[in-house]
Amino acid sequence: MQEISLDLLKKRLKRYPHLDELERFLDRIEKTNLKLILLFGSLPKGRYTQHSDMDVLCVFDRRFQDMTDRFMSSYAFSDGLVRPKNITLEEFKEGLISGNSFLHSIIPDSIILYRNLPKDEINHWIEQGKKNLNIRTISPY
C-alpha cells in the first residue's frame, strides 16, 4: 500500500488515457464521512490497457441505509470508468483483522488516493490479520 500524489500517479500511468476521470471522481466525491480511497486492480499493478476501468475501494465511517445507498455513496460521482466498491470503516477494520481474502489481496499493490485515517492504524490491522491467518510474505527475488 503506497501513498503517492496524483501528479506522481499521472507520471507512472502516463500511457493510461483516462486519469482525468479519476481526478474528477476524487474532486467530486463527498468526503464528509469518507476515511479512505484505495486504487486497486490492474492500474497499480501496471497490467492495464487503454480500456481498463479504475477499481477503487471507498471506506466510509457511517452505516449504509440499504444496498442502493451503499452503491450510490460513491458511484454517483463516477463518469463510468471509476468502479467504486464501498464498505464501512467497521467492515474494513474487521475484514483486515480477520484476514478477509479480498482485502488482503488488494492491499499490497494498492495506492492510497485519499486518507483521513492514521496509516499506522491501518498497518496495525493488516499485521493483526496476517498473524491471525499466519500469512507470510515471500519476496519473488
And the C-alpha cell for 57? 475501494
- DSSP for 53-98, written as a single string: -EEEEEEESS--SSHHHHHHHHHTT--SSEEEEEEEHHHHHHHHHH
CATH classification of 2-90+100-116, choosing from 3.40.50.2000, 3.20.20.70, 3.40.50.2020, 3.30.460.10?
A: 3.30.460.10
Domain range list for the chain: 2-90+100-116
Instruction: List the beta bridge partners of residue 40.
Output: 55
Cα-based angle 107, 35, 118 (whole degrees, multiple of 5) = 70
Per-residue pLDDT of the chain (141 residues; tens, 9 = 90+): 899 998 999 999 999 999 999 999 999 998 889 999 999 999 999 999 999 999 999 999 999 999 999 999 999 999 999 999 999 999 999 999 998 989 999 999 999 999 999 999 999 999 999 888 776 666 666
Prediction pTM value: 0.89
Three-state helix/strand/coil letters over 38-50: EEECHHHHCCCCC
Query: Among 58, 81, 61, which Cα is nearest to 71's?
Result: 58
